[in-house]
Structure 1
């Protein structure tokens, strides 16, 4: 906790969700000062908000917890969520409400942490796992699904822009191939939206231009995707099956014939409702 809140200001706050049992046993703990978490956090000199919650023993109580977590979030909050001491269903509930709040309150998840008390090493040190990557996979799944259904790559681009900055700031360059792929995917979809069907030397020779004809944009995108598939970085591997779905979805563009490309665009437009009815 100390490492995560070292740069907090008066505007930041630690929200502690407490059942009646947790409050008495681990928060206030009148009979055991070593378990008195409240005193330990107060020493960090940070703002603390206590929120009482029920045990979650039935559907109504679970929804009440959902509501209390959601109500504790403000617009544009950046969230670090610690699920270490949560009841078994709390992590799933937390992930649901946080993604719900992404849409309604534009929050950002900075980290999801779990202290594995039972996994102590020989020196008695408890490892703390950052589970944020699984929220990223969930976000990717939603974005790729949106592309597969509607042919729109904007959600994918937004995710990569955000995550690439995060990885670069952490000194991790593993996301660069993903960034390059999504950039080429965006070029590809833009080339369809603007009907750049005919391949000419003038377009091809414009190095660095994002005004690529469809077949060239597709080839670039597929090349970047193949680079990711062949990449052994473990942080990228979970994305590969999702990205291969994009490859399958766009395979009809894998030719250099203008007529076939045009027919593929027609089918793509119909499948993705990119058509206009006559008045």
Structure 2
């Protein structure tokens, strides 16, 4: 895993100025890259790289040697970077690119950048002198590299010398007054990452990426404020809870599903919506995404910390909607047993009691088909279950789930196998029936 700086060299005659970032200031530099490496790459070493993308024009104008705004000959960026990198054994190289004047040339730039980065690298990107569509392309490329090459994104920066005014006016200022900020553009990358993670949550019911991103974002804020920032604490709590419930669904954690306080999570998200502090800029992308989360959790909002088997039915619907088919079947069938346990004041965690209820449901179904289970009539514990209208109303549903569950668990190697779309439709129909039975 190496550190890599990606930057672009322009063709202009650069004016000497001072660049600053937070409390760090690099004085008397012509090239923003000199300030960038001294601020962000000072602890790099062997194996790390500074990669500058250059057009033919930029190579001739500023790489080997340069000309200042005052038309004086100055060192090219190559020598400036080598002077910084030599003692640290950091590799410095120029990568040729085209001018980006057509789709083909833009894709050529894309390939040049992508091919300069290796699997697992940690990348920092400077777009100060990126031209035409490259700044927008840089954001896309960072996202692409994170997915395809598993890179870690460290920062996206822009040296804003134009914030001081027109170049001819800046040139009239004394050098001590030419102080240009390096702007942190990381929020735009976080926005894309948040968007992707919320999409995964909305589409697939997986909050793992969203939770990780939210936690990574609030960690430095909580560290800086010694854990006393209320909004960051709330986001951390929501992120951990979202991750917990979606894991419960994915791994069929029935006992945890029926105990979880969904109403509190829903209320916490509502409370967070209007509570953002304007100073917490890294968290801004999180704010407009809260409505999406609330919409997704709407079916759960009435269920508090009281143990309730109906939570399992809602969870089964969630799983079906997010293509967690086997989980949907398992959670729904086990929730039916839990419902009956609670109605008959049985310990729903007692395996023997659960097996007894399953036997009662199977017995009812067998008898309806003119068959019998040999010892059922002699089992006194079954009697109250076999005469309960609620249990009687669920036997066909339970049996249908058993058939689908067996079909999936045996990987379609059964005579009575079903098409995927038929399985989905049957589960949805069963869920609708169960909701009606439970309501009555």
TM-score when normalising by structure 1 = 0.84
Give 1:196 deviation, angstroms.
5.8
**Deviation of residue 255 (structure 1)?**
1.2
1:269 paired with 2:319, answer yes
* Structure 2 residue runs without a partner (length 5+): 1-35, 166-172, 327-403, 413-440
> Could you say if the C-alpha distance between residues 246 and 269 of structure 1 is closer, same or farther in structure 2, counting changes exceeding 3 Å?
same
SS at 1:213's partner residue?
Answer: helix
Matches within 5 A, 1:89-128: 89-120=133-164, 123-128=177-182
CA distance in structure 2 between the partners assigned to 1:14 and 1:177 by the alignment: 39
CA shift, 1:214, in A, is 5.2
* CA RMSD across the alignment: 2.6
Distance 1:166 1:75 in 2: 26
- Cα gap change, 1:168 to 1:81, in 2 (>3 Å): farther
| 2:241 is the counterpart of 1:184 | yes
1:126 CA drift (Å)? 0.9
Q: Does 1:82 align with 2:126?
A: yes
| Residue equivalent to 1:160 | 214
**1:43 equivalent among 75, 78, 83:** 83
Mapped to 2, the partners of 1:220 and 1:75 lie a distance apart of: 41
1:1-279 → structure 2 map (5 Å cutoff):
1=36, 2-29=38-65, 32-34=72-74, 36-45=76-85, 46-120=90-164, 123-165=177-219, 167=221, 175-193=232-250, 211=256, 213=258, 215-216=260-261, 218-234=262-278, 235=281, 236-256=283-303, 258=308, 261-276=311-326, 277=404, 278=407, 279=412
Q: Which moved more, 1:35-44 or 1:98-107?
A: 35-44
Deviation of the 1:44 alpha carbon: 1.0
Q: 1:114 to 1:35 in 2, by over 3 A?
A: farther
Q: Deviations over 1:92-120 (max 9, x none)?
A: 11222221111221101100000112102
Structure with greater Cα Rg: 2
In terms of mean alpha carbon deviation, does 233-242 or 166-175 score higher? 166-175
CA distance in 1, matches of 2:303, 2:151: 44
Alpha-carbon contact 1:81-1:113 (below 8 Å) kept: yes
Q: Deviations over 1:12-55 (max 9, x none)?
A: 11100000111112222355433732232222124211101111
Q: Say which is worse superposed, 51-60 or 19-28, in terms of deviation.
A: 19-28
> How far, CA to CA, are the matches of 2:211 and 2:315 in structure 1?
21
Larger helix proportion of the pair? 2
Q: TM-score, normalised by structure 2?
A: 0.55
Q: Any stretches of 5+ residues in structure 1 without a counterpart?
A: 199-210
Write the deviation string for residues 120-153 of structure 1: whole angstroms up to 9, x where unpaired. 2882211110101110110010000111011111
Counterparts of 1:169 and 1:55, CA distance in 2: 44
